[in-house]
Amino acid sequence: MSKAEDGGAPAPGPDGARLRAVLAQLDAMHRWRGWVWQPGADPFEIIVGAILVQNTAWTNVERALDQLRAAGAMSIAVMDRLPAEELEVLIRPSGQYRQKARKLRAFLDLAGAHGGLRELLAVPKDELRTTLLGTWGIGPETADCIVLYASKQPSFVVDAYTKRVFSRLGLGPGEDAAYGSWKHFFEAALPSDAEAWAAYHALLVLHAKHLCRKRAPLCGGCSLRGVCPSAFGR
Ligand code: SF4
């Protein structure tokens, strides 16, 4: 098991310098756009968002979050008492609402079993991640989002945007590689830093949405085009 996998602080790997150079460029291109999960955001709201965003766009999640807030249900105590049907109606804009209501229920039960949300989020990151992965409806990406953004412990989040951007740049284990391979690629190469990793994930999402789009990427506006083997129209 590598240091990254067993929770120790990994030494920067051979790709560390190149990765950091790419991430610095992303920061220069996109930090001004801001991000939905600010450092002071409510951990429970982050978790609800991380579950509701599965298989849908963030704009749909925002509508569901607005409905939860308007109903006064954006707290673990209130949501815990909501009948399943009421919760389903409130989160309906996020799609797959019955399944997602069950996932939220499973998370509420998990928090309850640990004595509350604060206690759950205080569990050391590797144990917390394993616990989350053992909870119905929580996969690796959602678990890492919760560990990184709600618990504020370093656990690199990988998503389709991350794979696309780095594969186009000729970095990483390949777009079809397993989640764990990508996670290890970043965690072995970058110093363990929850705040920095939270910003990196946000920057990657912004880059993939605004410039490195799936179809017709806007390479002309990308400051990485000089080092990107996939750049269009160079
Ligand atoms: S140059 Fe184009 S393909 Fe390469 S990272 Fe930038 S937007 Fe993506």
pLDDT tens for each residue of 220-234: 999 999 999 999 865
Instruction: Take atom 8 of ligand 1 and give the residue whose Cα is closest.
Output: 212
User: What digits encode the pLDDT tens for the residues 63-92?
Assistant: 999 999 999 999 999 999 999 999 999 999
d(CA 182, CA 165): 12
d(CA 80, CA 162): 34
11: which DSSP letter? Answer: P
Q: Is the CB of 222 under 6 A from ligand 1?
A: yes
**Does the pLDDT at position 11 exceed 90?**
no
d(CA 234, CA 226): 8
Ligand 1 atom with minimal separation from the 225 CA: 1
Domains and their CATH numbers in the chain: 3-35+155-227 (1.10.1670.10), 43-150 (1.10.340.30)
48: which DSSP letter? Answer: H
Cα angle: 10, vertex 13, 17; to 5 degrees: 120
Instruction: Take atom 1 of ligand 1 and give the residue whose Cα is closest.
Output: 225
Sign of CA dihedral 220, 223, 228, 234: positive
Beta carbons of 2 and 184 less than 8 angstroms apart: yes
